[in-house]
């Protein structure tokens, strides 16, 4: 099999309203094709932030796992998940369960652990009847378009993720930490700059402060890299937020985000972030068999509402411990 360095140049289609796209004739062996073109594909992801490959004809989890392995090597187990996923092999998961009629706004996958996935791989086995695109947005363009006073505060203070684990909503302790042993969870949290508080009912409340703006480890570009809007209470559908606040109280929500000093983020700030994301969104509807590669640090992604069945498998790779993942200013000592 020829090496990727000898593969022909890729004829990538570029349009301002959608991710970079590569159309290919269905190969006899998709995994072998991925191995042959690995370096060329990865170079396109570094240059454009995301690449949609159409024509591979991916049909099942085993085939997807083999393609992901050729492109990225070993896939990462998910830690600190906010919602349970169905596993389809080592490091291969279903997309995050989320109501089909509700959007998942722009975010970077697992931007809050100290070690983040640098590469995100997605494969569509079943395309929805309508909607459901995995849209993308350039993190540097978003940073530049946000109001300076907003980004300066988040850059100075960082952002705070608060979580309260319960048995009803979101990932359980075992699903998030890989164990439900209290001592093991506390060791993990200490090692990963997560503050813990066990509550009277046995539930766990955590807080972790992270940077909202980071420098890309490969390109050096400054990126708006966080899940401030996605995991904030004001992004939830109003009826869902009202139910959760009534059920758990404003301080006991399964997840929420705050300014780095612990103060609440107003609704208008969350709306402004989401508006800027939408202004920089590029989208292309899924087709069955598609593959997408995402630079998870330089590119945010979303999932749009859809109808019909939608089956997308996800893998994460290339762990990065960003030098500027934790704020170092005055607010970080809280």
Residue 194 lies in a domain: yes
Q: For residue 25, what is the DSSP state?
A: P
Backbone angles phi, psi at 242, to 5 degrees: -60, -40
Residue 105 lies in a domain: no
**What confidence tens digit (pLDDT) does each residue in 122-158 have?**
999 999 999 999 999 999 999 999 999 999 999 999 9
**What confidence tens digit (pLDDT) does each residue in 75-87 have?**
999 989 888 889 9
**What confidence tens digit (pLDDT) does each residue in 254-281 have?**
999 999 999 999 999 999 999 999 999 9
Residues 79 and 169 both lie in one domain: no
The proportion of the chain whose per-residue pLDDT surpasses 90, expressed as a percent, equals 82
CA distances from 323 to 114, 116, 190, 238 (A): 9, 11, 18, 37
Residue 109 lies in a domain: no
Residues 67 and 151 both lie in one domain: no
For residue 41, the model assigns a pLDDT of 97
Mean pLDDT throughout 305-323? 94
Mean pLDDT throughout 282-299? 98
- Report the candidate in 318, 125, 73, 333 with the shortest Cα–Cα distance to residue 216: 318
Q: In this structure, are residues 46 and 295 in contact, taking their beta carbons and an 8 Å threshold? A: yes
Residues 163 and 190 both lie in one domain: yes
CA distances from 253 to 200, 230, 291 (A): 16, 14, 35
Residue with more model confidence, 190 or 97: 190
Whole-angstrom Cα distance, residue 211 to residue 143? 13
Last residue of a domain, one of 223, 244, 275: 275
Residue 328 lies in a domain: no
pTM strictly above 0.85? yes
The proportion of the chain whose per-residue pLDDT surpasses 70, expressed as a percent, equals 94
Q: State yes or no: pLDDT of 5 exceeds 60.
A: no
What value does the mean pLDDT of the chain take? Answer: 92
First to last CA, the chain: 56
Supply the CATH number for residue 80's domain. Answer: 3.60.130.10
For residue 1, the model assigns a pLDDT of 37
Residue 35 lies in a domain: yes
Last residue of a domain, one of 255, 275, 295: 275
Residues 220 and 305 both lie in one domain: no
Residues 148 and 41 both lie in one domain: no
- Report the candidate in 102, 131, 103, 136 with the shortest Cα–Cα distance to residue 120: 136
Whole-angstrom Cα distance, residue 298 to residue 192? 23
Strand order of the β-sheet with 299-303 is 104-107, 299-303, 136-138
Mean pLDDT throughout 204-219? 95
Quickly state the pLDDT bin for 326 (edges 50, 70, 90).
Answer: low
Residue 330 lies in a domain: no
Find all residues with CB under 8 Å of 331, minimum gap 6, and list them. 156, 157, 158, 209, 260, 261
Residues 155 and 225 both lie in one domain: yes
Residue 45 lies in a domain: yes
Please tell me the total count of domains within the chain: 2
Q: State yes or no: pLDDT of 296 exceeds 70.
A: yes
Q: Which residue range(s) make up the domain with 146?
A: 141-275
Q: State whether the Cα torsion 189-191-194-195 is positive or negative.
A: positive
């Amino acid at each position: 099999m020829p090496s990727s360095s000898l593969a022909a140049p890729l004829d990538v289609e570029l349009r301002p309203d959608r991710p970079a796209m590569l159309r290919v004739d269905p190969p006899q062996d998709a995994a072998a094709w991925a191995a042959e073109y690995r370096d060329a594909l990865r170079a396109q992801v570094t240059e454009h932030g995301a690449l949609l490959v159409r024509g591979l004809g991916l049909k099942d989890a085993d085939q997807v796992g083999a393609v992901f392995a050729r492109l990225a090597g070993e896939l990462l187990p998910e830690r600190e998940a906010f919602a349970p996923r169905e596993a389809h092999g080592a490091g291969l998961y279903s997309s995050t369960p989320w109501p089909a009629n509700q959007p998942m706004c722009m975010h970077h996958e697992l931007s809050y652990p100290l070690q983040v996935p640098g590469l995100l791989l997605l494969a569509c086995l079943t395309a929805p009847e309508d909607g459901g695109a995995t849209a993308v947005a350039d993190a540097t363009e978003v940073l530049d378009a946000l109001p300076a006073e907003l980004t300066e505060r988040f850059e100075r203070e960082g952002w705070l993720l608060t979580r309260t684990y319960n048995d009803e909503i979101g990932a359980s302790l075992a699903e998030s930490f890989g164990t439900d042993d209290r001592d093991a969870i506390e060791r993990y949290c200490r090692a990963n700059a997560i503050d813990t508080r066990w509550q009277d009912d046995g539930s766990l409340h955590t807080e972790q402060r992270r940077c909202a703006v980071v420098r890309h480890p490969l390109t050096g570009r400054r990126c708006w890299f966080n899940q401030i809007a996605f995991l904030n209470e004001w992004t939830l559908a109003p009826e869902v937020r009202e139910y959760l606040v009534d059920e758990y109280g404003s301080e006991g929500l399964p997840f929420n985000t705050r300014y780095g000093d612990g103060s609440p983020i107003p609704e208008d700030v969350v709306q402004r972030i989401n508006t800027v994301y939408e202004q920089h969104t590029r989208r292309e509807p899924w087709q069955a068999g598609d593959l997408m590669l995402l630079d998870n640090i330089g590119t945010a992604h979303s999932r749009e509402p859809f109808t019909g069945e939608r089956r997308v498998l996800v893998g994460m790779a290339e762990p990065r411990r960003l030098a500027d993942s934790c704020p170092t200013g005055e607010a970080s000592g809280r």
